């Protein structure tokens, strides 16, 4: 396992894949979630990502859960001991709406006020059964909240040893620059990572987020690295399913997306067959070839899905393959302003 720094601006070293836990609790049982986390540590995957809102299955009416459930599942796993917490670089998030059992609080409806950050951090620590969070990430930009207030809250948490590093998620390139320049003015550590949607299929961040992160030493943690499932071998899985059961594997959302880019997916899966590699691993390996990318987030529902992704760490794509992938899944045309001007 070749570990890498979370971001060029910090020293902590993490695995090249990040275990995403969004499915834990709501879809994947607690017992199976524990087994996947144990296997991850055994394989050298030490970087786990979660969020205070995870547990409610936003994407599926078939599964019911509650916000905070996933952190609780992880906390119960930590409580088993065996060095689980000490060996894990833990990332969670603040911003999303949290439900309160004892009444309505308008400040808990979403955002990044200092009060909100402090209260939600304390709640996450209780659910996670830990004294500290390695990487505390803003789940979204809050343009209504002064950046100085955000840093004041994070600085207070850092001084108490409850948060070690500060990260962002779903920030624009301008937001990353604005926050890090504010950190310089305030004399406090800035962002060390940015968690963005990024894949062969969705490459918009290459225009401005990627160059901003490179300039400020911010590591990129891609979420949805398989393009919402389209880069995971969806056509091959459908063919296998149709042959054995006579029905489609994919759901309405993937089918709708597939209708828009079927020709690209067909070319992509054909290329993967030539390489003798699974489409999911090719998609992850493509992200890992970018030096600004720290660790794509894999979000397994099962042990098989987790182990199937490990090959991506070893897979190296040559220049000819990278060019062919660019031809199938073109990016925005370069970094701004070249992608829209001369």
Give the pLDDT band of residue 247 (cuts 50, 70, 90).
Answer: very low
CB 139 within 8 A of CB 96: yes
pLDDT in tens, 139-155: 999 999 999 999 999 99
Strands (E), the chain: 4-5, 13-14, 18-20, 47-49, 89-94, 133-138, 163-169, 191-197, 219-223, 297-298
Average pLDDT over residues 11-23: 97
The residue with greater pLDDT, 34 or 96, is 34
Between β-strands 13-14 and 4-5, what pairing exists: parallel, antiparallel or unpaired? Answer: antiparallel
pLDDT for res 242: 43
The HSE-up count of residue 328 (CA atoms within 13 Å, CB side) is: 24
Mean pLDDT (the chain) is 91
Instruction: Report the alpha-carbon distance of residue 275 to residue 269 in Å, rounded.
Output: 10
pLDDT for res 248: 38
Sign of the C-alpha dihedral computed for residues 47, 51, 54 and 59 taken in this order: negative
Please state the pTM of the whole predicted model: 0.92
Q: Where are the domains of the chain?
A: 4-229+279-318
CATH number for region 4-229+279-318: 3.20.20.100
pLDDT in tens, 153-194: 999 999 999 999 999 999 999 999 999 999 999 999 999 999
pLDDT in tens, 96-150: 887 655 556 676 667 999 999 999 999 999 999 999 999 999 999 999 999 999 9
Instruction: Report the alpha-carbon distance of residue 223 to residue 228 in Å, rounded.
Output: 10
Whole-number CA gyration radius for the chain: 20
Task: From the candidates 3, 54, 268, 340, give the one annotated as an active-site residue.
Answer: 54
Q: Is 179 a catalytic residue?
A: no
């Amino acid at each position: 396992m070749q570990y890498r720094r979370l971001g060029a601006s910090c020293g902590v070293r993490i695995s090249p894949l990040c275990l995403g836990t969004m499915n834990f609790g709501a879809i994947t049982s607690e017992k199976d979630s524990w087994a996947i986390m144990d296997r991850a540590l055994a394989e050298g995957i030490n970087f786990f990502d979660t969020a205070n809102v995870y547990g409610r299955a936003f994407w599926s009416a078939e599964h019911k859960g509650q916000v905070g459930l996933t952190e609780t599942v992880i906390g119960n796993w930590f409580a088993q001991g065996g060095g689980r917490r000490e060996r894990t670089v833990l990332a969670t998030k603040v911003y999303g709406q949290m439900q309160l059992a004892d009444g309505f609080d308008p400040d808990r409806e979403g955002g990044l006020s200092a009060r909100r950050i402090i209260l939600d951090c304390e709640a996450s620590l209780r659910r996670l059964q830990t004294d500290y969070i390695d990487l505390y990430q803003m789940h979204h930009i809050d343009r209504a909240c002064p950046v100085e207030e955000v840093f004041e809250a994070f600085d207070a948490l850092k001084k108490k040893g409850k948060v070690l590093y500060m990260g962002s998620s779903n920030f624009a390139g301008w937001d990353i620059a604005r926050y890090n320049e504010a950190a310089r003015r305030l004399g406090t550590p800035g962002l060390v990572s940015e968690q963005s949607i990024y894949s062969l299929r969705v490459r918009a961040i290459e225009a401005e987020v990627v160059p901003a992160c490179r300039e400020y030493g911010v590591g990129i943690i891609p979420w949805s690295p398989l393009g919402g499932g389209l880069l995971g071998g969806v056509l091959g899985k459908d063919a296998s399913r149709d042959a054995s059961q006579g029905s489609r594997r994919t759901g309405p959302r993937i089918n709708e997306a597939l209708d828009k880019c079927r020709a690209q997916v067909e070319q992509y899966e054909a290329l993967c067959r030539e390489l003798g590699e699974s489409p999911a691993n090719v998609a992850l390996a493509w992200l890992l070839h970018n030096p600004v990318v720290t660790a794509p987030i894999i979000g397994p529902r099962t042990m098989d899905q987790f182990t199937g992704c490990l090959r991506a760490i070893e897979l190296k794509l040559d220049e000819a393959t990278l060019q062919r992938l660019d031809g199938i899944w073109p990016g925005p045309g370069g970094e701004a302003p070249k992608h829209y001007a001369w």
